[in-house]
Copies of this chain bind each other. A is one copy, B any other.
Amino acid sequence: MATKTAASGIKARDGRSTREAILEAASRLIHVHGYNHTSLDDVLRESGVGKGNFYYHFKSKEELGYAILDQAIASFLAETLEPCFSDPGRRPLAQIRCFFDRVHEIQREQNCVGGCAFGNLAAELSDVHEGFRTRLAVVFSAWHERLTQALHEAHRRGDLHDGCRPEAVAHFLVASLEGAILLTKLTKDISVMEQCVTEMNRYLSLYELGA
């Protein structure tokens, strides 16, 4: 018996999955309760990992925060942003509208709870923790850049009015989406999100040529 490893009892953790269990529990808790208000003990209880073990895998709570953030950034870029903007079947402006819908859908899926993890952390930490502020600025900058790129591409194709300033429009779109998510989370009313997406589409049509 017991051929080789402990062969998966009720826990079955090896180095790799322990780190992932911590990451999973922590990002879930921090998304809802914030960074400061999520204690290590909460994370440990939720993930079933002991304290000494935690400090074997992470050197501090701050480093855990960075790890979660880096993971969330990668997953946002790869699983939410890119799928919309690399769809070759849509023209750039349609890609942007598709992204609005995706954000709307996510808020509906999570029942208006949690909001945007990046927006929450930005509100909580940008003024008190420069390390987090910088990392958060990176996500928003990547997001902004993807929108700017799509707008430039639309202009190149002749879909966009000349009066459109892509960088300003992109900033406004990011801001509007973040604000809409926040307002939806506060009111717990998904129709707020719907209305905002409708108005964002109208705003975009302001610059659109040959619809």
Residues of A within 8 A of B (CB): 32-34, 36-37, 113-115, 119-120, 122-124, 126-128, 133, 136-137, 140, 165, 167-169, 171-172, 174-180, 182-183, 185-188, 192, 195-196, 198-200, 202-203, 206
Contact = CB atoms under 8 A, between A and B. Distances in A.
Contacts of A37: 36-37, 124, 128
Nearest to A192: B171
Nearest 3 A/B pairs, CB to CB: A179-B179, A175-B179, A168-B195
Given A37-B128, A171-B192, A175-B180, 7 more contacts: A115-B123, A133-B188, A136-B186, A137-B186, A174-B183, A175-B192, A177-B179
Contact of A183 (B140, B180, B183): B140
A172 B199 contact: yes
A113 B127 contact: yes
Contact of A169 (B126, B179, B199): B199
Nearest to A197: B172
Given A114-B127, A123-B182, A127-B113, A172 B187 contact: no
A123 to B, nearest CB: 4
Contacts of A36: 34, 36-37
A195 B188 CA distance: 29
Contacts of A119: 123, 182
28 contacts: A32-B128, A33-B128, A36-B37, A37-B37, A37-B124, A114-B127, A120-B124, A122-B186, A123-B123, A123-B182, A126-B185, A126-B186, A137-B186, A167-B195, A168-B196, A169-B199, A171-B195, A171-B199, A172-B195, A172-B196, A174-B183, A176-B179, A177-B179, A178-B182, A178-B183, A179-B180, A179-B182, A199-B203
